[in-house]
Amino acid sequence: MCTGKCAKCIAVSLYPLALTSIICNIILFFPGWDTKYVSNDADGKERLTPEVKFMGGVIGGGIMVLIPAIHIHLTGKAGCCANRCGMFLSIGFAALGVLGAIWNMSAAALGLSKGPVCSVLGVWGRPFDVEDSDYLTNKDLWKLCTEPENVVEFNIALFAVLLACAALELALCGFQMINGLFGCICGTCNGKE
């Protein structure tokens, strides 16, 4: 497969991953499918998992991957960017995508490891943010969180999707850096160098 076609395949794969990351991060702002948790409590207690506000899915896995995906896609088509210079630039854009994927992965992993913010017997906090917490594997502990309803499952599912998207984005952007190097050296097979 020539480097131009490979770049196009990579870009087409990055589009749904970036969109999924953005959607998952936005949904995380509404635990229990309710808007009331976005604001702080009357006593200033946080009701939203802090890692959601890192915007790893919107900025990191979304925008910082979407912009490189557009350029990488252009290097795979016949036109202004489908040449050695375009492939060279795709290395830099792919590096930006790698940084975005790392940001997304870090925020998602931190959100999974620390657990959600929830109400336990009327007190808001992070009951699973303790050393050696096994809340991910012990479903009996999930009953501790009474509000928002099913917040543990909600956070685990969405942060896991963000983590998976970030891992795939990291792999694809890393591969595009190598593909861009070969395209810069060998050309794009589009016939217009």
Rounded to an integer, the average pLDDT of 62-91 is 84
The predicted-structure confidence for 146-188, as pLDDT tens digits, reads as follows: 988 899 999 999 999 999 999 999 999 999 999 888 888 877 6
Say what the pLDDT of residue 174 is: 95
What per-residue confidence (pLDDT) applies to 49? 87
Per-residue model confidence as pLDDT tens digits over 12-56? 999 999 999 999 999 999 998 888 887 766 566 778 888 999 999
Residue 96, SS3 per DSSP? helix
- Give the three-class secondary structure for 74: helix
Residues facing residue 123 across a β-bridge: 120
Cβ atoms of 56 and 163 closer than 8 Å: no
- Rounded distance, CA 94 to CA 117, Å? 34
| Domain-wise residue ranges, the chain | 3-186
The pTM for the full model equals 0.89
